[in-house]
């Protein structure tokens, strides 16, 4: 069994490495995106001020709540809200009540402006109690890099495995393999491991190559980050295998993979934060594996989270991986 698995694994790796165009694109494209976004958004701020709310925003003073260009983001956990404030991801934190309590980052220019705006509204009648926090700001590229690396993994996993599997079936490669002692589980597991090794190798080159020039702010463990991306890659590869388990048309497979990848790219938090998004949209995003990969990696990068702190995301990714692999192996056909 291991000899058959190893033969397929080596063959798939050689096939990828000999395709210089695909290998070069997988390595160079993420570099272009990371450096392009870093250049485009290095000095660009957000269009509105974000105010975190511990509790219900409806309980805020009406005049302050109705102020234009303020976006109120509810938080269920005070620790998470203060972490966002320390890293300048929100501009102020407010807890409704009597007295009204609020927290502001002393190093944030936007926090200073939001505080002046609040004190100029009817919120001043509630004798607000002020508390200060400190923390370094996070550049947009530091926040963005986790999403960009995850997005590159998604495209490499879905199209690198799913599309190739359909091509094998269409060209008769799978039909020939069916005549050998190779089992479907061995073939599929070799595909997963092969693509996982290649994706993680590309991830290492892109991440450390970009970090050499951009100096990413990483608060958490590098090993934790590697483990999170490895699990996320396995989940996305399994999804690609599930899509291609029975499909015979490359055009249909391409449509299916695009139907999966484009919503994930825009709704999983790659480009913008989902905080304050409508609940139906957030529920839809939580059903996507890319959302949990990005949230876990971003928590390690920007907040210094440990694996135990992002365990809910990891459990979901692990469960999705097992589900996709089981369904893919069950529905797989050689011809």
Q: What is the pLDDT of residues 287-312, one digit of tens each?
A: 999 999 999 998 898 888 899 999 99
Closest CA to 77 of 54, 101, 105: 54
Strands 92-95 and 70-75: unpaired
Overall average pLDDT of the 213-222 stretch: 84
This prediction has a pTM of 0.70
For residues 186 and 190, what is the distance between their CA atoms, to the nearest angstrom? Answer: 6
pLDDT value of position 46: 47
How is 31-89 classified by DSSP, letter by letter?
HHHHHHHHHHHTT---SSEEEEEES-GGGS-HHHHT-TTEEEEEES-HHHHHHHHHTTS
pLDDT value of position 318: 93
What kind of architecture, by CATH, is found in domain 49-133?
A: 3-Layer(aba) Sandwich (3.40)
For residues 162 and 240, what is the distance between their CA atoms, to the nearest angstrom? Answer: 5
How is 283-326 classified by DSSP, letter by letter?
HHHHTSHHHHHHHHHHHHHHH---TTTTHHHHHHHHHHHHHHHH
Helix (H) or strand (E) holding 18: helix 2-18
Lowest-pLDDT range of 1-15, 79-93, 192-206, 282-296: 1-15
For residues 152 and 158, what is the distance between their CA atoms, to the nearest angstrom? Answer: 10
∠ CA 233-211-275 to the nearest 5 degrees?
Answer: 60
Q: Tell me how crowded residue 80 is: count the other CB atoms within 10 A of its CB.
A: 14
Query: Does residue 45 have a pLDDT over 50?
Result: no
Domain with CATH 3.40.190 in the chain: 49-133
pLDDT band at 44 (very low <50, low <70, confident <90, very high): very low
Helical axes 311-331 vs 289-303, angle rounded to 10° = 150
Instruction: At 273, give phi and psi (nearest 5°).
Output: -75, 145
Query: Does residue 12 have a pLDDT over 70?
Result: no
């Amino acid at each position: 069994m291991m000899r058959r698995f190893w033969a397929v694994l080596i063959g798939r790796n050689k096939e990828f490495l000999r395709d210089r165009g695909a290998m070069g694109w997988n390595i160079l494209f993420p570099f272009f995106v990371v450096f392009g976004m870093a250049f485009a958004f290095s000095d660009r701020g957000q269009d509105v001020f974000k105010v975190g709310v511990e509790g219900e925003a409806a309980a805020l003073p009406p005049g302050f709540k109705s102020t234009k260009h303020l976006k109120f983001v509810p938080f269920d956990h005070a620790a998470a809200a203060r972490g966002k404030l320390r890293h300048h991801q929100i501009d102020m934190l407010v807890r409704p009540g009597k007295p009204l309590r609020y927290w502001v980052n002393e190093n944030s220019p936007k926090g200073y402006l939001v505080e002046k705006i609040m004190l100029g509204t009817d919120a001043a009648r509630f004798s607000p109690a002020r508390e200060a926090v400190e923390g370094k700001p996070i550049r947009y590229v530091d926040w963005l890099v986790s999403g960009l690396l995850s997005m590159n993994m998604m495209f490499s996993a879905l199209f690198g495995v799913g599309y190739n599997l359909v091509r094998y079936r269409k060209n008769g490669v799978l039909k020939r393999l069916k005549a050998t002692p190779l089992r479907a589980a061995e073939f599929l597991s070799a595909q997963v491991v092969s693509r996982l090794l290649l994706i993680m190798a590309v991830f290492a080159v892109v991440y450390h190559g970009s970090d050499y020039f951009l100096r990413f702010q990483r608060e958490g463990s590098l090993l934790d980050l590697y483990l999170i991306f490895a699990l996320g890659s396995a989940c996305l590869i399994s999804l690609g295998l599930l899509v291609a388990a029975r499909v015979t048309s490359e055009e249909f497979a391409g449509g299916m993979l695009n139907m999966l990848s484009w919503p994930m790219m825009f709704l999983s938090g790659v480009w913008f934060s989902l905080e304050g998004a409508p609940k139906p949209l957030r529920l839809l995003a939580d059903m996507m594996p890319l959302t949990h990969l990005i949230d876990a990696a971003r928590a390690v990068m920007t907040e210094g989270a440990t694996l135990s702190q992002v365990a809910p995301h990891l459990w979901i990714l692990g469960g999705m991986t097992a589900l996709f692999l089981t369904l893919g192996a069950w529905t797989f056909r050689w011809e």
